[in-house]
Amino acid sequence: MLQLLLHLKDHLAAIAGTHDVRLLPLYDTDDTLVPENQIEKKLRGALVEVTYRLLHYNMTKEGKLIESFTGEIQQIVIKKHGKEEPRTRFTRAARPLTFGPVSSCAPTKTVGTSKSASGAASGVANTNIDLHEKGDTVPDTNLNGKRTGDTLQNPITKKS
């Protein structure tokens, strides 16, 4: 650990003339500065207000327009502390949120597909958004392998 700190100290000394090194300015609900050893604990699950500065530069190089963005966090203020949950061996790992089981044979309505500049649908950028409307029949299979249909009562709908 000591060698790592000395290694970092050498790097900080090397960039001291060209960079401005600052700690994360995090303030608690009572407007007191949070010590650096408590920053991660205080931020976990907290509702915060972030004040930042965003700079945009338009530059031209050889007739081409180049846009550059620079951002700097000025301060973070904790508005509401996160709820501390005890960590146990039974705590489940974080997983992506899902809306329940997905049926591969459900009827879908395609809302949009992104295409490349040539007009052909691109492999990675191809995005299909499938929505079901109220009253759509969503096919499913029962335990005997026969297809059944359930009517969707509470679909996920688009905001208008």
Contacts of 8 (CB under 8 A, 6+ apart): none
- Quote the pLDDT of residue 80: 93
Q: What is the pTM of this model?
A: 0.41
Q: Where are the domains of the chain?
A: 20-80
Residue 5 pLDDT > 50, yes or no? yes
- Quote the pLDDT of residue 87: 67
**145-154 per-position pLDDT tens digit:** 444 444 444 4
**33-86 per-position pLDDT tens digit:** 998 888 888 888 899 999 999 999 888 888 899 899 988 888 999 999 988 776
How far is 74 from 24, CA to CA, in rounded Å? 8
DSSP letter string over 19-41? Answer: -------EE-TTSPBPPGGGHHH
**74-132 per-position pLDDT tens digit:** 899 999 998 877 666 666 555 544 444 444 444 444 444 444 444 444 334 333 344 44
pLDDT greater at residue 74 or residue 142? 74
Q: Residue 135 corresponds to which tokens in the numbers above?
A: 């009253």
